[in-house]
Amino acid sequence: MPDTLQTNRPDLPPEIGRRRTFAIISHPDAGKTTLTEKFLLYGGAIQMAGQVRAKGEARRTRSDFMAMEKDRGISVSASAMSFDFTRGDDAYRFNLVDTPGHSDFSEDTYRTLTAVDAAIMVIDGAKGVESQTQKLFEVCRLRDLPILTFCNKMDRESRDTFEIIDEIQENLAIDVTPASWPIGRGRDFVGCYDLLHDRLELMDRADRNKVAETVAIAGLDDPRLAEHVPAELLDTLREELEMARELLPAFDRDAFLEGSLTPIWFGSAINSFGVQELMAGIAEYGPPPQPQRAEPRQVAPEEGKVAGFVFKVQANMDPKHRDRVAFVRLASGHFERGMKLTHVRSKKQMAISNPVLFLAADRELAEEGWAGDIIGIPNHGQLRIGDALTEGEALKFTGIPSFAPELLQSVRAGDPMKAKHLDKALDQFAEEGAAKVFKPAIGSGHIVGVVGALQFEVLASRIELEYGLPVRFEPSQFTSARWVHGPDAAVDKMIEKNKQHIAHDNDGDPVFLTRLQWDIDRIERDYPDVRLSATKEMMVG
């Protein structure tokens, strides 16, 4: 996406114009997974929504398919889901990318946000802006993504509405405009007043899967309000709204699209309340597919030729088939099944004969796709994160980062005879972007680097589950890794003299493993032509 969202662009073909591609970001436990469920329920994609930790297979959250996610009730891999949402006479195609909620998986989330045009930020009405929300928000800010905010759990004891809005404005440095206003809080919460359409939305506590009742109101003086809202709550509502209109900015779509203003909806995802209004907000105000940054030129969605990039690789989505699926964001054109596309990195043509569309863990063959859609391409390791697929043009999509790991451990197979299997498993996870795998220049074994400690647990459980191979992670003498850049002669000289610190990543690029900051300072002092970098652009060409 470009630095500023382009609103004065040509009209998009109707199929592309009706697409909304977005991610949901939140702190763990703010209710993101429940909200995702309700989106699928209202999109007609599932018949019954179930709480994450509810008993029974039928009630597992549909977007969490890894065994560990089901056990812990957290999302650790980003799934993509497509479904339709009808509003009046308009039918929209929503492409929802679910991001890991746990902070240990922030790199996966960062890459996911390169593939969307907008984000929904979910915050907990009692806890407000939490640390992980702040981190993820910074990523959206870097990309100037438009953000819609959903304040969840209003049916529980929550904070004062103005306090929540103030906290968002202060902590995230973004203007907030109320799209709806809560009436009562906790046990007294009866619903919301829809400020954008002058409507009263009433919550039904009896049926969690029932759509909220809507009452059309002619402004706050309409006598019908008193029929539905207790007198003292109505007085408070009128008072608060008068203050809100004076103190808070009105909704301005241009400011929202530029990423400087966020509309906020209040609700309770578990009670299906406020969710439909939020979906209507995405449909009505959210951006259609936007141009994507690439070298040597930007790619516009309305272009006739197909181009797309891989932002995620998920291995063993079906453990029976050992398959790997590359998630591709289509940046332009109209894709049809069976098309031959050029894999820019290898310059080879690939016939895309079995592309898939995802509905959580279910998938179906994608007969076609348009700019903005996310399709899965099953492959045997040819496709990596950052790869471009085009109709022949040598494009490289930019801005898909790889971060230096913050934690390093060495890994050993429980059975030394199965070391080869471990090599294969680690290669696969490195290509998936789930971990960095470094092969030291001296000695045997591998060093695995991750951003958060929980990833070691996830890797160990997946290697055992998917490869039948128990492994153990052990502390490493190294604490961080840096990619090595510079003129070949200078790099070779540095590597030759520092072999005990050198490893190679799974692309074969040299990496300098450090114990202390002193190691980095020493290299920078002794080898001025060599640059050590904490990020590597995953733009493969």
Residues 122-134 have pLDDT tens digits of 988 888 777 667 7
Q: How far apart are CA 325 and CA 323, in angstroms?
A: 7
Q: What DSSP element (H or E) covers 439?
A: strand 436-440
| Residue 188 in tokens | 């007294």
The token duo for 200 is 């009263």
Which helix or strand (DSSP H or E) is residue 388 part of?
A: strand 388-390
Q: Which strands sit side by side in the sheet containing 374-379, from one edge to the other? A: 348-351, 340-343, 388-390, 307-315, 324-332, 374-379, 356-359, 362-365
CA distance linking residue 435 with residue 427, whole number of Å: 10
Residue 96, beta-bridge partner list: 22, 81
pTM of the predicted model, to two decimals?
Answer: 0.75
In angstroms, the CA 256 to CA 49 distance is 31
**What whole-number distance in Å separates Cα of residue 319 and Cα of residue 312?**
18
Tens place of pLDDT per residue across the chain (541 aa) = 444 455 556 688 899 999 999 998 887 777 778 888 888 877 765 544 443 333 333 334 444 444 544 454 433 344 678 888 888 888 899 999 877 654 445 567 777 888 999 999 898 888 877 766 777 777 777 778 899 999 998 888 888 899 999 998 988 889 999 999 999 888 888 889 898 888 888 877 666 565 656 777 777 778 888 888 888 888 999 999 999 989 999 999 999 999 999 999 999 888 888 888 999 999 999 999 999 989 899 999 999 999 999 988 876 655 555 567 888 999 999 999 999 999 998 999 999 988 888 765 566 788 899 999 999 898 877 888 889 999 989 998 887 766 677 788 988 888 878 878 888 888 877 877 778 899 998 877 889 988 777 778 888 888 888 888 888 898 888 988 899 999 999 999 999 999 999 999 888 889 999 988 899 999 999 999 999 987 776 544 3
- pLDDT tens across 465-500, in order? 888 888 889 888 898 889 999 999 999 999 999 999
